[in-house]
């Protein structure tokens, strides 16, 4: 009995296939870094600016209208800022999106580069929105009012945590079967998580002031931010489906040539 190699015979003029496996694509892991500046324009163009600005402006407009009609009789507080920032958080859930992921995963550039870049571009917009809303409520406080206004840093921590939760939800949805809906699922999910964190007594004791202290709220929300960003990084990775020109995978039939093919 003649044993035949399962490989086709090289009948052309092409060089014979090497028996050694292809060296790991180390140079491909670093080459995308050189392409990053070229990607910046593409990332900027694919960022959903209209969606993001619509959310930010909707909340800011609501706060402005509230300040105009009620701020004279009743100064606005940080609670109003929390409500006004919700549209921006919802809009943020639509930002991180890896387009054509099955295709981009085959390129040398990791698929997470695009959504990460979009988030970096969105961060200044959100920061500006928060700043504008804080200025609006500051204008409604009478100049000679008694007592100091509450500290802003716990509020900033809380809004940062909200944004991180929205981003994590968006990243997870983008890797799920609902990826085509994207933010339509992530936005309500993140708003629901925020509402739960606010109203459930167990979480409210840590994340809401009162009953928690300002320092405690700040630490808790930054911990939530860290956890959410970790989850985001884990969800954005594409190592599971990374294309690899490993001959080990190609040569898997050579390992067991006598294994019969089983039909279902």
Partner 1 sequence: MTAEGGPALPALDAGTAGNHAPAGLAERTRAPRLRTVLALARAEAVLLARSLLVLAGLLAGGAVVWLLIGRTEPLWWNVGWRIGSGQLVLGMAVLAAAQLAAGRARRNAMADLYASFPATAGTRTLAHLAGLAGAAPASLLLIGTAAMAVQIRGAIGAPSTAVLAGGVVLVIAAGAAGTAIGVRFPHPLAGVLGALALFLSSGQAHLPGGAIWLSPWESFSDQLNVLPGPLAGYPPGGAHAAELAGLTVLAGIAALALTVSRAWARGGLAAAGILAMAVTCFAGAVQLRPLPAAELNHLIAEVADPASAQRCTTASQVRYCLYPGFGSLLPSLEAPVDGVLAHLPARPSQPLTVRQAVSIDFTDPSFTDPSLAHGHPQRQVAQWNAQLQKAPGASAAASVIYPVAGSWPAAGAQLADAHFDMALAAAEWAVHLPPTTPAAVLGGQCAPLDQAREAIAIWLAILATHPPAGELQSGLAGPGGDVTPVVVQGVTAVAWTYPGESESYLSSPGPQTTAAGYLLANAMTNLPQQQVAHVLKDAWGRWVDWHTTDAHLAAALGIPMPSVPSLPPGAANAPGPQNPLCTG
Q: How far apart are CA 57 and CA 97, in angstroms?
A: 21
Residues 6+ apart with CB under 8 A from 168: 190, 228, 229, 231, 232, 235
Residue whose CB is less far from partner 1, 198 or 243: 198
Least Å distance, CB 45 to partner 1, is 18
Instruction: Rule CB under 8 A: choose which of 17, 33, 184, 233 binds partner 1.
Output: 184
DSSP string over 31-48: HHHHHHHHHHHHHHHHS-
Run of H or E including 9: none
Q: Does 191 bind partner 1 (CB under 8 A)?
A: yes
Residue whose CB is less far from partner 1, 84 or 155: 84
CA atoms within 13 A on the CB side of 31: 7
Contact 125, 48 (CB under 8 A): no
Reference 117, options 35, 225, 29, 224; nearest CA is 35
Residue whose CB is less far from partner 1, 103 or 181: 181
Site for partner 1 in 198-237 (CB under 8 A): 199, 211
Instruction: Rule CB under 8 A: choose which of 103, 192, 233, 234 binds partner 1.
Output: 192
Site for partner 1 in 45-104 (CB under 8 A): 51, 54-55, 58, 62, 70, 74, 83, 86-87, 90-91, 94
Residues near partner 1 (CB under 8 A): 51, 54-55, 58, 62, 70, 74, 83, 86-87, 90-91, 94, 181-184, 187-188, 191-192, 195, 199, 211
């Amino acid at each position: 009995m003649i044993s035949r190699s399962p490989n086709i015979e090289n009948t052309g003029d092409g060089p014979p296939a090497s028996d050694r496996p292809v060296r790991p694509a180390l140079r491909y892991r670093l080459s995308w870094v050189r392409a990053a500046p070229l990607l910046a324009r593409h990332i900027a163009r694919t960022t959903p600016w209209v969606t993001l600005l619509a959310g930010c402006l909707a909340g800011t407009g609501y706060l402005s209208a509230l300040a105009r009609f009620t701020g004279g009789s009743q100064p606005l507080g940080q609670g109003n800022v929390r409500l006004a920032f919700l549209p921006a958080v919802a809009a943020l859930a639509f930002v991180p999106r890896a387009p054509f992921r099955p295709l981009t995963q085959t390129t040398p550039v990791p698929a997470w580069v695009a959504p990460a870049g979009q988030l970096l571009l969105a961060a200044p917009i959100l920061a500006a929105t928060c700043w504008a809303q804080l200025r609006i409520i500051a204008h409604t406080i009478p100049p000679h009012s008694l007592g100091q206004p509450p500290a802003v840093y716990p509020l900033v921590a809380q809004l940062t945590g909200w944004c991180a939760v929205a981003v994590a939800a968006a990243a997870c949805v983008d890797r799920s079967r609902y990826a085509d809906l994207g933010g339509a699922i992530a936005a309500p999910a993140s708003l629901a998580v925020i509402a739960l964190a606010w109203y459930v007594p167990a979480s409210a004791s840590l994340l809401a002031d009162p009953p928690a202290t300002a320092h405690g709220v700040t630490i808790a929300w930054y911990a939530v931010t860290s956890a959410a960003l970790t989850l985001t990084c884990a969800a954005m990775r594409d190592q599971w489906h990374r294309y690899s020109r490993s001959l080990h995978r190609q040569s898997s039939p050579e390992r067991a040539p006598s294994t019969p093919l089983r039909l279902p």
